[in-house]
Structure 1
């Protein structure tokens, strides 16, 4: 299954520049969908619902993928889908936290996120509230992933935390491409980092089983 997922990711990234369009549309949501299926089919080894929420986050991401790839601009619908997905991922990481320490960490994430948001704000226009709420959701996710790693330690929690940071990188490139300056390879970078983050989230469930 992993070879199929990797192949789909590479084909989609190739189709961004070379087409055909039907292949672009077909391959974009399939990796997340297959990752979600793998996670849902993995029997839980712990009483927490960590795997369930990771799977739900991946499934909701598929909806976001579909909205964002439609020929008609459905940016807000796609952004809202990923906002829900990020809160779902964040809640999954919350299941791994025994004690929310250090308490200053969410404040640090919030300050960094606010600075980035203010830098983008002049170019966001009417989407400022949607983008602002999305910033809250992804910072909630990344903060919880970091605290979960600090709380429980281990390579699996570290894998999820790295995935969270890569997800932020993907969204930052996407935001710069949409609101500031577009480049020929920005979408390739967005999708490569996006798929990598999702794979790490899925692996944090599968390798713990």
Structure 2
């Protein structure tokens, strides 16, 4: 009951932020941006964890770090570093519930994505003489690829879809900032981002349910 109510509030507040909150004043923009994440953290807190309490704690910590990054992204480098830490935290969480190897098709797609993004974004920055930023982009790509890779190894479809959405959000953000203006970039970035965080939160319950089902067998 309460999970459904909070889910509705998350969706409503995300829609309000994405479509109705103006860019100025910035403090109002940041405040409304953080509200959906606070609700997602509350949603994660309410999920049953069973024997996977550590996974729940790790996911909630990742959500909190990403929420901090949401506000800090207005100071781009600081926000980028904070998001990087958030990705690393999710990697640790996914490794905690790792159950299988990554499917070959997923591994190939992730590797191709990483190489393509590195050549396109980091390569463009390198040709412009932004060598430090190009190196930082490559590092970030490696980390988000690792996050996606480890998500696939959980066999938790909600963690996997969440990781893909997070990668899409980061990719649109990077392309829009460094390469070309992406139409409706803010909408694309935030819908995929909030979707990713919500699915990470729900993956706690999904993992608990799958574990409980296996134990009953």
TM-score with structure 1 length normalisation?
Answer: 0.83
1:145 and 2:151 matched: yes
Residues 94 and 48 of structure 1, relative CA distance in 2, 3 Å threshold = farther
Are the aligned partners of 1:16 and 1:187 in contact in 2 as well (CA < 8 Å)? Answer: no
Rg larger in structure: 2
1:62 and 2:67 matched: yes
CA–CA distance in 2 between the matches of 1:142 and 1:101? Answer: 10
1:202 and 2:183 matched: no
* Unmatched runs of 5 consecutive residues or more in structure 2: 1-5, 210-217
Aligned residues: 198
RMSD: 2.4
Q: Once the two structures are superposed, what CA deviation does each residue of 1:142-194 show, in whole Å capped at 9, x if it has no partner?
A: 00111211xxxxxxx11210111111111111111000111341111100110
Equivalent residue, structure 2, for 1:81: 82
For residue 130 of structure 1, report the CA deviation from its aligned partner. 2.2
Are the aligned partners of 1:48 and 1:95 in contact in 2 as well (CA < 8 Å)? Answer: no
- 4+ runs of 1 displaced by more than 6 Å? none
Are the aligned partners of 2:59 and 2:201 in contact in 1 as well (CA < 8 Å)? Answer: yes
For residue 50 of structure 1, report the CA deviation from its aligned partner. 1.3
Residues 44 and 110 of structure 1, relative CA distance in 2, 3 Å threshold = same
State the SS of the aligned residue for 1:44.
Answer: coil
TM-score with structure 2 length normalisation?
Answer: 0.80
CA–CA distance in 2 between the matches of 1:55 and 1:30? Answer: 15
